[in-house]
Structure 1
Amino acid sequence: MNVVLWIIAILLGLAFIAAGLMKILQPKEKLIETGLGWVETFAPGHVKIIGALDLLAGVGLILPAAVGVAEVLVPLAAVGIVLLMIGAVVVHGRRRETPMVIANLVLLVLAAVVAWGRFGPYSF
């Protein structure tokens, strides 16, 4: 199970690092062009904050465990992703974007598995 948790954490971490960098580095207009229509309803600063949270959560899933320092940050980052995904489900649900709601729920469940595993029976 420890190997499964590592795989999930690394994949989630890389996905959230990439998503966070995209939201931080690209202007709002470019994000809308690339298919992130939800950013229309958010101020540019809020999109950057969401990107920073994505980036920090992704790094928090991988780095502490990889270097063996402050490993409690891994399940805390996973809980942060769960909270981010709850917000994403609400936003996409209001916009009636069912495929995105499903994708967010999958990410939520994967993050919850990491949080449960690292807080519980497979903590570091």
Structure 2
Amino acid sequence: MNVALWTAQILLAAVFLVSGIVKSIWSKPRLIASGQTGVAPFPLPVVRLTAIAELLAVVGLIAPRATGIAPVLTPAAAGGLAIIMIGAAASHTRLLRADRRAGRPSREARNVAVNLIIPATCVFVAVGRL
């Protein structure tokens, strides 16, 4: 079980490291063009704040368990990321519905699916590390 948890933590850390970095330096149009369409309804300061939260959570996923210092922060970081991803899934769902109403082709169904898998992985880590 420990190996599965560490694997999940490392994968989540990698995903959110990349996501946090690009959200903190790329423009909103570039994020949307790259497939991070869930940022569309939010002002750039909210996107940047989310990036900071993701980057802090990356540290929280790995460092506490690796060092043995405040290991309770690992499930807290995973839980916080699950909340962020539930919000992302809701954003993508709204975009999917808007695309369908407008009769436009949409990539949002894939984004919704991904944004349901990631929080499930976060919950796995949070529960497993409690």
Preserved contact between residue 20 and residue 54 of structure 2 (Cα < 8 Å): yes
Do the aligned residues in 1 keep the contact of 2:28 with 2:44 (CA within 8 Å)? yes
Partner of 2:26: 26
Which deviates the most, 69-78 or 58-67? 58-67
- Cα shift at 1:98: 1.2
| Alignment partner of 1:98 out of 99, 102, 109 | 109
- Matching of residue 47 in structure 1 with residue 47 in structure 2: yes
After superposition, the C-alpha distances for 1:77-104 in whole angstroms (9 at most, x for unaligned) are 0110110111011100001121111001
**Cα distance in 2, alignment partners of residues 42 and 9 from structure 1:** 28
1:3-24 Cα offsets, whole Å, 9 max, x none, are 1101101110111111001100
- CA apart distance, 1:66: 1.5
Aligned residues: 119
Q: Give the drift of 1:38.
A: 3.0
TM-score by length of 2: 0.85
**CA RMSD between the two structures:** 1.2
Q: Secondary structure at the match of 2:40?
A: helix
1:122 match: none
The 1-side partners of 2:40 and 2:120 are apart by: 27
Distance (whole Å) between structure 1 residues aligned to residue 31 and residue 128 of structure 2: 34
Within-5 A mapping of 1:1-124: 1-96=1-96, 97-119=108-130
Stretches of structure 1 lacking an aligned partner (at least 5 in a row): 120-124
TM-score in terms of structure 1 length:
0.89
User: Of the two, which has the highest radius of gyration?
Assistant: 2
